Chain A
Amino acid sequence: MNKPLRIALTKGRLEKDTVALFEKLGYDCTSVHEKGRKLILPICDGKIEVILAKAADVITYVEHGVCDMGVVGKDTIMEMQGKFFELVDLGFGRCRFALAGKKGDNFYDGYNVKTIATKYPNVSRAYFEGKGMDVEIVKIEGSVELAPLLELSDAIVDIVETGSTLKENGLEVYEEIAPISARLIVNTVSMKLRQNEIEELIEKIEKEI
Chain B
Amino acid sequence: MKRYDLITPEGTRDLLLNDCTIRKNIENYLRGLFESAGYSELNTPCLEFYDVFNKETVYFPQETMYKLSDRKGRLMVLRPDCTVPIARVVATRLREAKLPIRLFYNQSVYTPSRTNAGKSDEIFQSGIELIGSASKKADLEVLTLAAEVLSHCDSDKFRLEIGDSGFFKVLIGKLTDDPEIKEKIRALIEAKNYPALNDFLDTFGSNSVISTLKQLPSLFGGEEVFDKVAKYYHDAETDKILSDLKWIYTELSKLGYEGKITVDLGIVNRADYYTGVIMKGYLQGYGDEVLSGGRYDKLISEFGYDVHATGFAVNVDAVAEILKRYNPVSENSSPDVLVFSEEDDAMDALIYVEKLRKEGKKVEFSLFDTYEETMDYAKENKISEIIRYRGEGNE
B-contacting residues of A (Cβ < 8 Å)?
60, 62-66, 81-89, 183, 186-193, 195
Contact B159 A192 (CB under 8 A): yes
Is B195 an interface position by the 8 A CB rule? yes
A-contacting residues of B (Cβ < 8 Å)?
114, 117-118, 157, 159, 161, 191-196, 217, 220-221, 262, 264, 282, 284-289
Beyond the given A85-B192, A195-B221, please list 5 additional residue pairs across the A-B interface where CB-CB is below 8 A. A86-B196, A87-B194, A88-B195, A186-B192, A189-B286
Q: Please, which residues of chain B bring their CB within 8 A of the CB of A190?
A: 287
Q: Which of A60, A85, A187, A195 contacts B191 (CB 8 A)?
A: A85
User: Quick one: closest B residue to A65, CB to CB?
Assistant: B287
Contact A192 B192, CB 8 Å, known A60-B118, A65-B287: no
User: Quick one: closest A residue to B264, CB to CB?
Assistant: A192
Q: Which of A86, A87, A88, A187 contacts B287 (CB 8 A)?
A: A187
Give A145 to B311 CA distance when docked, in angstroms. 54
Q: Please, which residues of chain A bring their CB within 8 A of the CB of B195?
A: 86, 88-89, 183
Contact A66 B220 (CB under 8 A): no
Contact B221 A188 (CB under 8 A): no
Q: Is the interface of B mostly helix, strand, loop or mixed?
A: loop
Total of A-B residue pairs, C-beta within 8 Å: 58
A156 to chain B, nearest CB (A): 24
User: Quick one: closest A residue to B260, CB to CB?
Assistant: A193
Q: Please, which residues of chain B bring their CB within 8 A of the CB of A89?
A: 195
Contact A86 B282, CB 8 Å, known A65-B288, A66-B287, A195-B221: no
Contact A86 B191 (CB under 8 A): yes
4 smallest A-B Cβ distances: which pairs? A65-B287, A85-B192, A89-B195, A86-B193
Q: Please, which residues of chain A bring their CB within 8 A of the CB of B117?
A: 60, 63, 82
Contact A64 B287 (CB under 8 A): yes
Give A84 to B287 CA distance when docked, in angstroms. 9
A127 to chain B, nearest CB (A): 16
A75 to chain B, nearest CB (A): 14
